[in-house]
Structure 1
Amino acid sequence: KLPVRATVGSAGYDFFAPADITIKTGESTLIPTGIRAKINDGWVLSIFPRSGLGFKHRVGLDNTVGIIDADYYNSSNEGHIMIKLSCTAHDDGHSVTVSAGDGFSQGIFTQFGITMSDDADGIRDGGFGSTTK
């Protein structure tokens, strides 16, 4: 299921769970979305948890905010967006389940600028941490 905005006023495109997902306190789960995004130069896709999951269950992204750069689309992993979530609820035994097809994260496209003296010339090939290898 492709990400969509829920309303005309929504900034985020909701990502939907590909299967039932249960996250217990102190645990993380890596969710393969099956989604890749072709992004124009000068833009970035930022990934955030759905607000309700964070507010009600303290579910957040392990890297706080996922940054999907335009050149990630052509990576050797085919630009597959993976989202890793954790539950940091304060009560022991807490768990949250997201049913297949329900929204669990959202992506927001943002335009960005670079400095006039920028001389980046590296080429990406890979996912998490690939630009520092």
Structure 2
Amino acid sequence: MKRGFEKVSSYAASSAKLPRRATQNAAGYDFFASKDFVLPSIWKKNFIKVLAALKKGQAVAPDEMTAAQKILKPYLVPTGIKAYMGDDEYLLLADRSSAPLKRGLVLPNGVGIIDADYYNNDNNEGEIFFQLLNFSLFDQTIKQGEKIGQGIFMPYLTADGEEKPTAKRTGGFGSSGK
């Protein structure tokens, strides 16, 4: 087996959907939410108040700044899926082209990278999550089975003369460094 998808064990008996391509020539595999999930709008609470104060050069109380920054954190939407691939490959996670236009949902850094050694890690078995921010005016409910993003298997190259890293992945999401 070269590359593909499996359910993580906690979703084995669930109706979590394996990613699939929508058309014959689609490069991306559509990923689906494994459960209902509410993504809060970033425009809630004191965010607008803090933004307006900063724009005017006014001081903002530390607790208000912390609350506003908390609103801007991405949420991890579970898929219940893990991916296996060759050592010289990765899975590129990307927005669905319609998500920002229709719902205001985006990956905060535009893409996500799933390394080959993320598969079956000790921390979370390699479950893939989509980091999403909600820029719409209202909270958005993602329903179980709804498309939330896409993944594309990609090869990568390494630099000549590179000293090969000896570290092994020991954790799940965000574990390869700070």
TM range (shorter): 0.7 to 0.9
Q: Which structure features the higher share of helix residues?
A: 2
Give the aligned length. Answer: 130
Aligned partner of 2:98: which letter?
G
Match of 1:20 among 10, 32, 36: 36
Q: Which structure features the higher share of strand residues?
A: 1
2:61 is the alignment partner of 1:45: no
Match of 1:75 among 121, 130, 141: 121
The answer for the alignment partner of 1:65 in structure 2 is: 111
2:53 is the alignment partner of 1:8: no
TM-score of the superposed pair, with normalisation by structure 2: 0.66
Distance 1:21 1:59 in 2: 13
Match of 2:82 among 15, 28, 36: 36
Aligned partner of 1:128: which letter?
F
Q: Which SS does the other structure have where 1:86 is aligned? A: strand
Greater RCO structure (CA 8 Å; 6+ sep): 1
Show structure 1 runs of 5+ residues with no match. Answer: none
TM-score of the superposed pair, with normalisation by structure 1: 0.85
Report the aligned-residue RMSD. Answer: 1.8
Percent of pairs with identical residues:
42
Q: Which of 1 and 2 has greater Rg?
A: 2
Distance 2:40 2:176 in 1: 31
Aligned partner of 1:49: which letter?
D
